[in-house]
């Protein structure tokens, strides 16, 4: 007869009297997986807090039963299990109430009191009902995920909940007094601006990133610098959090023990074995309140959810499934488990859909762009050379780089042949093909046409764009122009430069202010450019590439028209770029217009067709499913290639 004991002082589960079975591979694996050890006296001990006891006790009991070992409960186990079970019942009741907050159209005294506190604390913002319910859910839960779509005001919801929790007396276990926000560098300004807008005053904030000296970061996190203890809003990146984990531990224990920790764009921690995710998860228990924000909680599959819910409740298995089962749900081999998964996580998140936002009308206008005779010859020559190669290599995994490089060249030939003379570009800059993906322009029969092609004078697309911009500026004053090719951005700037006194370009190379005083001190930072675009009282043109400006930037209060000079097949990035000007605005908003420049009979038209299909599928997923699985939107390279080949064959047949 074996005995299972629990030592509450040292938080150890101890197995005695199991004899030789302690060395059985199954029991050894269980012990090793949970950080336990085999003692010299033949007993096993496994470290665990009381919140883990019930789960691991049951697992160990089942394992010993398989080995035909009878067990009895030893010292402290029964009372510890009783206490854990009572806490579990309380947590389940709490979870039920949390879910009811979101599901029910509540009008309770507690909700009315919450709204009153928020109204007084947030004079600069009028929240709509779904935002208030989401904020109340967060304030009640203290730890929650917000999976609302981009533009739904997730930052505002956090500030509303924070305002309420900050109003509680310090001795209240729910009270918080400062925020630690972890997110991409581009999100810092949005958090600072939104704070000032909602509370009608600026707060003491501190940006901690690679642009700030290690000494300054350390002094702030240790509470040594002058303003560290009075700083209400600390902003940092996931990389800095991982690099300075011990300093952040000190910060959360000694300097900010009542901090609300927010993970913005939390899909950054989806990787199960990533260093940034590991640091965030280890620090999570030290925060008084924990918040996860992302509009795409499961971009690659249900397994992406595990870390998000582990962050808000570090000691509980909220999803209730191991990683292998979550992956099986994604690939379709465990479809019946998906409703159970969603039921388990429902109490712990809120999600505002696009249909909840009453957004202004958005109009899509396709503008046909012709090609000159020389441009047509260049494109058809490359198309006839490239597309047959795509057909031959599309099913060859070793040809992925080659196929991708050729597809980029085909897109360039359609929108601007001048780009063919430049190194290959991708969304991340220069594309390294390893010498196997590109081709020698000199070998082409149209090589001289390419060398002599001048985009400024020969590219009809630039002229069409210029006409559109002129018309929009005359009526609205501001416009946003998107291009996916870096080589087009300067062309557009030079081609439109005389139309407005303000014309700026935003790319991945545009610096983001690392310190809170950078935006004011350095002309040319991303924050400075966006501020000047918003505040300009004259005509203004902003030119950007979606790869660099897709996240954490709102332009809807300044601009309501965008032109897409060119696009790629990535539907998620395309939708995200559109959301920069089509977002919830408490003051209302005018209709938004998108102009898509499209050259018929080319890959440019194929992209337009595919994006239309994929955007519709994504929109249906996002608005109909609580946890949209974006892999179901068929955004695959193979599907795009098939569409190109089919369109090419139709053109050849005519």
Q: DSSP for 243-299?
A: HTHHHHHHIIIII-TTEEEEETTGGGG--TT-HHHHHHHHHGGGSSEEEEE-S-S-S
Q: In this structure, are residues 560 and 520 in contact, taking their beta carbons and an 8 Å threshold? A: no
Q: Bridge partners of 498?
A: none
Mean pLDDT score, 5-16: 85
Confidence at residue 222, expressed as pLDDT on a 0 to 100 scale? 95
pLDDT at 84: 63
Give yes or no for residue 271 having a pLDDT over 90.
no
233/202 Cα distance (integer angstroms): 10
pLDDT at 638: 83
CB-based contact 284:290 (threshold 8 Å): yes
pLDDT of residue 96: 86
CATH 3.30.780 in the chain, residue ranges: 2-84
Q: How far apart are CA 503 and CA 644, in angstroms?
A: 35
How much is the average pLDDT of 75-83? Answer: 72
The tens digit of pLDDT for each residue in 198-219 reads 999 999 999 999 889 999 999 9
Q: Architecture of 168-348 per CATH?
A: 3-Layer(aba) Sandwich (3.40)
234 touches 208 (CB < 8 A): yes
pLDDT above 50: residue 17: yes
Cβ-in-10-Å burial (0-12, 13-18, 19+) of 47 comes to: middle
> For strand 289-293 and strand 143-146, is the pairing parallel, antiparallel, or unpaired?
parallel
d(CA 189, CA 245): 23
What is the assigned CATH class of domain 2-84? alpha beta
More confident residue, 394 or 611: 611
- Interatomic CA distance for residues 346 and 344, integer angstroms: 6
Report whether 562 contacts 481 (CB < 8 A): yes
Average pLDDT over residues 506-515: 76
Task: Tell me the C-alpha distance between 652 and 654, whole Å.
Answer: 6
In this prediction, residue 52 carries a pLDDT of 67
pLDDT at 272 over 70: no
Task: Find out whether 203 and 193 touch, Cβ atoms under 8 Å.
Answer: no
pLDDT digits (tens, 9 = 90+) for 529-582: 999 999 999 999 999 998 877 666 889 889 999 999 999 998 888 988 999 999
* Average pLDDT over all residues of the chain: 88
**Residue 88: alpha-carbon gap to chain centroid:** 32
Cβ(170)–Cβ(258) under 8 Å? yes
Q: Quote the pLDDT of residue 426.
A: 56
Per-residue pLDDT for 116 more than 50?
yes
For 575-620, what is each residue's pLDDT tens digit? 889 999 998 877 777 899 999 999 999 999 999 999 999 888 888 7
Which of 185-189, 438-442, 548-552 is least confident? 548-552
- Please tell me the predicted confidence (pLDDT) of residue 520: 42
- Name the one residue in this structure whose structure tokens are 């089509």: 582
SS3 content of the chain, % helix, strand, coil (to 5): 55, 15, 35
pLDDT of residue 523: 53
Please write the tens of the pLDDT for every residue from 443-474.
788 999 999 999 999 999 999 999 999 999 99
Lowest-pLDDT range of 155-164, 188-197, 520-529: 520-529
Residue with tokens 């998906």: 338
Contact 571, 615 (CB under 8 A): yes
Is residue 28 classed exposed, middle or buried when 0-12, 13-18 and 19+ CB atoms within 10 A define those classes?
middle
Classify 524 in phi/psi space as left (phi over 0), alpha (psi -120 to 50) or beta: left
Task: Check the CA dihedral 211-212-218-221 and report its sign.
Answer: negative
pLDDT at 437 over 60: no
Domain span(s) for CATH 3.40.50.10810 in the chain? 168-348
Q: In the prediction, which pLDDT does 625 show? A: 66
pLDDT-above-70 percentage for the chain: 92
């Amino acid at each position: 007869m074996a005995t299972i004991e629990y030592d509450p002082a040292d938080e150890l589960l101890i197995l005695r009297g199991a004899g030789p079975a302690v060395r059985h591979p199954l029991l050894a694996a269980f012990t090793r997986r949970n950080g336990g050890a085999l003692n010299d006296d033949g007993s096993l001990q496994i470290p665990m807090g009381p919140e883990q006891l019930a789960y691991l006790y049951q697992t160990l009991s089942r394992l010993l039963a398989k080995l035909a070992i009878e067990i009895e409960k030893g010292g402290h186990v029964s009372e510890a299990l009783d206490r854990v079970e009572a806490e579990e019942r309380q947590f389940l009741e709490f979870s039920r109430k949390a879910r009811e907050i979101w599901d029910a159209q509540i009008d309770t005294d507690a909700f009315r009191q919450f709204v009153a506190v928020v109204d007084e604390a947030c004079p600069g913002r009028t929240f709509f009902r779904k935002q208030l319910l989401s904020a109340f859910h967060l304030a009640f839960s203290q730890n929650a995920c917000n999976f609302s779509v981009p533009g739904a005001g997730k930052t505002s919801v956090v500030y509303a909940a924070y305002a309420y929790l900050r109003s509680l007396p310090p001795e209240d276990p729910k009270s918080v007094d400062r925020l630690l926000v972890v997110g991409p560098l581009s999100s810092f300004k949005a958090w600072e601006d939104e704070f000032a807008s909602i509370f009608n005053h600026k707060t003491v904030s501190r940006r901690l990133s690679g642009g700030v000296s290690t000494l300054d970061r350390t002094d702030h996190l240790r509470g040594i610098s002058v303003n560290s203890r009075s700083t209400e809003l600390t902003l940092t990146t996931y990389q800095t959090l991982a690099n300075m984990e011990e300093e952040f531990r000190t910060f959360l224990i000694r300097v900010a023990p009542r901090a609300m920790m927010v993970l913005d764009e939390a899909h950054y921690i989806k990787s199960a074995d990533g260093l940034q995710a590991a640091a965030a998860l280890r620090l999570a228990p030290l925060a008084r309140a924990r918040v996860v924000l992302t509009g795409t909680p499961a971009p690659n599959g249900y397994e992406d959810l595990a870390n998000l819910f582990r962050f808000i409740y570090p000691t509980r298995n909220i999803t209730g499934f191991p990683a292998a089962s979550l992956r099986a749900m994604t690939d379709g081999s465990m479809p019946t488990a998906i409703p159970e998964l969603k039921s388990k996580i429902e109490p712990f998140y809120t999600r505002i859909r696009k249909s909840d936002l009453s957004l202004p009308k958005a109009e899509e206008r396709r503008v046909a762009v012709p090609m000159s005779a020389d441009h047509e010859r260049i494109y058809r020559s490359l198309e006839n050379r490239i597309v047959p190669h795509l057909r031959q290599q599309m099913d060859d995994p070793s040809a992925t780089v080659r196929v991708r490089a050729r597809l980029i060249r085909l897109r360039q030939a359609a929108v601007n042949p001048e780009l063919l003379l430049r190194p290959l570009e991708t969304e991340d800059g220069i594309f390294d093909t390893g010498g196997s993906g590109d081709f020698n322009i000199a070998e082409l029969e149209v090589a001289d046409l390419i060398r002599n092609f001048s985009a400024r004078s020969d590219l009809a697309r630039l002229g069409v764009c210029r006409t559109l911009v002129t018309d929009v500026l005359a009526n609205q004053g501001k416009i946003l122009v998107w291009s996916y090719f870096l080589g087009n951005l300067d062309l557009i700037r030079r081609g439109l430069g005389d139309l407005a006194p303000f014309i700026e370009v935003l790319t991945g190379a545009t610096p983001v202010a690392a310190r809170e005083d950078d935006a004011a001190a350095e002309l040319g930072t991303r924050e400075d450019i966006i501020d000047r675009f918003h505040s300009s009282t004259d005509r203004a043109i902003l030119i950007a590439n979606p790869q660099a400006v897709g996240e954490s930037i709102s332009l809807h209060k300044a601009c309501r028209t965008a032109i897409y000079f060119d696009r790629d097949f990535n539907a998620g990035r395309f939708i995200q770029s559109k959301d920069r000007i089509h977002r919830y605005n408490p003051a209302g908003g005018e209709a938004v217009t998108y102009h898509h420049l499209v050259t018929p009979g080319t890959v440019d038209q194929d992209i337009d067709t595919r994006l239309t299909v994929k955007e519709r599928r994504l929109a249906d997923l996002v608005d109909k499913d609580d946890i949209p699985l974006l892999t179901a939107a068929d955004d695959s390279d193979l599907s795009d290639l098939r569409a190109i080949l089919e369109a090419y064959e139709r053109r050849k047949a005519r």
